[in-house]
């Protein structure tokens, strides 16, 4: 029987913020209005969340390195988030690499992408595409951006600079995303949050399953299995298991990676609960498959340059 993975972990998706900087409009709005968002009430995460906070949450999961994904930093202050991260004590491995925010259809997109790419810690870009007819569930300001010529011109710059592009969208946008991924075959895309299966009705989940299956056939797309509890508020191991298993069936462990999305996932689960689910569902896979999900895929995708435990030996698991 395969042993449950207990080797080093790379967390390829989490956020840090200092609310005193007044640079996160979505958090500032929640502080002042208290309105419900696509994630529900944000009250539990309306506090500073720094490296020490992350390390405390992740302390029992053997996390050796992480990728910081843009946290909705104000577009009125471009490049600042990466520079702020550069100034933190990252010696623990937290925020070893960054996925930065640049609006690809912005008038200054090419210059900003060039500037981000000059930072060796920046390995990817995210420009959130998740549009919902319900304003409260909307992350993007308008739909259909993936087909927009100006937006695609920005993405072409991402590709030219050799950066990864993180895709965050809803399942009804997957057909549009399939066209996009095929149109940029030399760009490496990473689909966030398992494709965001937000509509839990039978038809909604069927749409998500079909869309993910089609996207899984594209060799230049990888998948982050992250923050599934955001879409399953009354989650249990058995409710999350089929979702994770479908993700793995579509992409395989060699093109998928587990990620925390902390502190956002903390609205619904503890860090240990998130990784307990991952470890339990993955336990039936081979050791190499588990290593891919917890370590190797993220290491390769985001160029973290961490020593691979498969090459250095894994002690009792040899």
- Quick one: which of 279, 199, 266 has its CA closest to 232? 199
Q: Which of 197, 254, 196 is nearest to 222 (CA)?
A: 254
Given this model, what pLDDT does residue 137 score? 80
Q: Specify burial of residue 75 (Cβ count, 10 A radius: 0-12, 13-18, 19+).
A: middle
The CA distance from 310 to 318, in Å, is 9
**CB atoms < 10 A from the CB of 292, how many?**
24
Task: Show Cβ contacts of residue 304 under 8 Å, excluding neighbours closer than 6 positions.
Answer: 10, 65, 67, 96, 97, 298
CA 24-28-30 angle, 5° bins: 125
Q: Are 16 and 66 in contact (CB under 8 A)?
A: no
Residue 246, helix vs strand vs coil = helix
H or E stretch covering 9: strand 9-14
* Mean pLDDT per 10-residue interval, the chain, length 318 residues: 88 98 95 80 95 98 98 97 98 98 97 98 98 84 92 98 98 97 98 97 98 98 97 96 98 98 97 98 97 98 89 45
- pLDDT value of position 311: 67
Longest CA–CA separation in the chain, Å: 56
Measured CA to CA, the distance from residue 156 to residue 150 in angstroms comes to: 10
User: Can you give the pLDDT at residue 1?
Assistant: 55
């Amino acid at each position: 029987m395969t042993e449950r993975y207990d080797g080093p972990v790379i967390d390829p998706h989490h956020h840090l913020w200092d609310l005193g900087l007044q640079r996160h409009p979505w958090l500032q709005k929640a502080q002042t209005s208290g309105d419900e968002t696509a994630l529900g009430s944000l009250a539990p995460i309306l506090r500073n969340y720094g490296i020490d906070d992350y390390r405390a949450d992740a302390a029992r999961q053997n996390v050796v390195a992480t990728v910081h994904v843009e946290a909705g930093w104000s577009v009125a202050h471009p490049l600042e988030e990466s520079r702020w991260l550069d100034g933190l004590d990252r010696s623990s491995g937290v925020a070893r690499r960054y996925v930065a925010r640049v609006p690809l259809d912005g008038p200054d997109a090419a210059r900003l992408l060039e500037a981000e790419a000059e930072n060796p810690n920046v390995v990817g870009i995210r420009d959130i595409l998740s549009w919902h007819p319900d304003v409260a569930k909307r992350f993007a300001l308008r739909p259909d951006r993936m087909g927009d010529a100006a937006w695609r011109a920005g993405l072409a710059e991402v590709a030219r600079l050799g950066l990864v592009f993180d895709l965050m969208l809803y399942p009804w946008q997957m057909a549009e995303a399939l066209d996009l991924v095929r149109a940029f075959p030399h760009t490496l895309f990473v689909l966030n949050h398992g494709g965001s299966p937000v509509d839990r009705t039978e038809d909604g989940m069927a749409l998500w399953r079909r869309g993910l299956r089609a996207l899984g056939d594209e060799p230049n797309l990888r998948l982050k299995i992250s923050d599934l509890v955001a879409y399953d508020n009354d989650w249990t191991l058995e409710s999350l298991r089929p979702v994770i298993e479908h993700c793995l069936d579509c992409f395989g462990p060699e093109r998928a990676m587990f990620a925390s999305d902390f502190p956002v996932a903390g609205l619904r689960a503890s860090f240990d609960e998130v990784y307990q689910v991952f470890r339990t569902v993955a336990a039936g896979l081979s050791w190499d498959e588990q290593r891919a999900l917890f370590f190797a895929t993220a290491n390769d995708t985001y160029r973290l340059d961490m020593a691979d435990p498969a090459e250095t030996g894994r002690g009792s698991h040899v």
